[in-house]
Amino acid sequence: MSGSISPLRSILILLQPLVSGALLAATHWYPEEVKTFLSSTIIKDTVGLSTIKAGLLPIVLFLVYHANKHLDRLALNNFTSDTTWDWKREVVLVTGGSSGIGAAIVRDFSRRGITVVNVDISPPPPSKGSTPLSKVHFYKLDVRSSAALSAVAEKIRGEVGAPTVVINNAGLGGGQLVLDESDETLERTVAVNLVAHFKIAKEFAPDMIAKNHGHVVTVASMASFVAVTSSASYAATKAGVLAFHEAFAGELRWRHRASRVRMTSVHPMYVRTALTEALVTSAQWKKTPQVLLEAEDVAAAVVAQVLKGESAQLILPPRMGFVTTLRGWPHWMQIYARGLSRDLIFNPK
């Protein structure tokens, strides 16, 4: 083959992973042949081998990164698609939907005309001059009680319909040192943040499995990956709920053959809510400021993902994704990273 190829066509050729990857590998085994080939076809002028490698490497890395993201997306969705979502008929259930992130999620879905069921131990506060939310149904529920959950679930199915999206958002944060936290606070935190996810799944997942259609959203935390001093019970439940999420996703796919039931986990950094109010206004926070999100930021990401009808792992903000690799770091680096927030206490005495 003689002559050179146009610049645009050259770029298109090199953006083919098999081409650029093979060429980069060949520069090691057959350097002179690669140099001659590129010089006579893609590259007009003769260039050095080091320049060729330097040009190919970022192209290969770019392609591998995007190919990996695409493969992640396919794998998380069991290599299946679901085009049956009809948002005029779907029912979204949100636990802990009366305040914080849950309330923001309820508002977002309601504004889109989607039917929402809010289950919470407390009713939402009355609207202050704003337009009341439409198609929102409230049911009082303490998610720790199996009997109450069963009774409320039966009412929801009879009065609204079987939820096709369940967002496990209800959560507590003890925010105390292990030796200071009372047994009552510890048990309540574990019951709401972790055990309730199992109970909710047992109550609502069978309908999704039967229809092979649904979406379970687990609102976890970045604490799923890194335990923060003075928040052991909270971090333990968030690590546990990620394990629940992953195991249940496997059961849906391999044991129940419900490959189109989606599973999304959400891992935000600190979020400005009533739960963190004492923390983000403390003197310690001002000394060691952390990434702080608004409840609406998390809600927007959750709603957008649900509307896609696809599973995902949402790291919020996305730039903090490196934190998920923490447990693979050398121990000295892990200890240093956890120590960055050693003085932060959610609920100081």
- What number is the average pLDDT over the span 215-232? 92
In angstroms, rounded to a whole number, what is the distance separating the alpha carbons of residues 18 and 31?
A: 18
Torsion of CA 184, 185, 187, 189, to 10 degrees: 160
In angstroms, rounded to a whole number, what is the distance separating the alpha carbons of residues 164 and 23?
A: 48
Ranges of beta strands (E only) in 159-252 are 165-168, 214-219
- Give me the pLDDT at residue 8, please: 46
The angle at the Cα of 148, spanning 147 to 151, to the nearest 5 degrees, equals: 90
- Give me the pLDDT at residue 25, please: 64
Top pLDDT among 326 and 31 is at 326
- What number is the average pLDDT over the span 95-103? 96
Structure confidence by residue, pLDDT tens digits, 237-276: 999 999 999 999 999 999 999 999 999 999 999 999 887 8
- Give me the pLDDT at residue 129, please: 56
Known catalytic residues are 234, 238
For residue 317, is the peptide bond before it cis, meaning its omega torsion is within 30 degrees of 0?
A: yes
What pLDDT band is residue 67 in, cutting at 50, 70 and 90?
A: confident
**Are the CB atoms for 55 and 23 separated by under 8 Å?**
no
Top pLDDT among 1 and 140 is at 140
DSSP state letter for 87 = T
Residue 77 CA from chain centroid, whole number:
14
- What number is the average pLDDT over the span 185-189? 95
What pLDDT band is residue 12 in, cutting at 50, 70 and 90?
A: very low
Q: Which of 220, 224, 246, 225 is nearest to 328 (CA)?
A: 225
User: What stretches of the chain show up as alpha helix (H) in DSSP?
Assistant: 7-14, 17-29, 31-40, 49-76, 100-111, 146-159, 183-190, 196-211, 232-250, 277-280, 283-287, 295-308, 331-339
- What number is the average pLDDT over the span 156-165? 98
Plot region of 161 (φ>0 → left; ψ -120 to 50 → alpha; else → beta): left
Reported pTM: 0.83
Calculate what percentage of the chain has a pLDDT beyond 70: 78
The residue with tokens 């200071």 is: 180
In angstroms, rounded to a whole number, what is the distance separating the alpha carbons of residues 113 and 92?
A: 11
Mean of pLDDT over the chain: 86
- Give me the pLDDT at residue 185, please: 93
Structure confidence by residue, pLDDT tens digits, 112-159: 999 999 999 999 988 765 667 789 999 999 999 999 999 999 999 999
**Are the CB atoms for 231 and 173 separated by under 8 Å?**
yes
- What number is the average pLDDT over the span 152-177? 94
**Are the CB atoms for 302 and 92 separated by under 8 Å?**
no
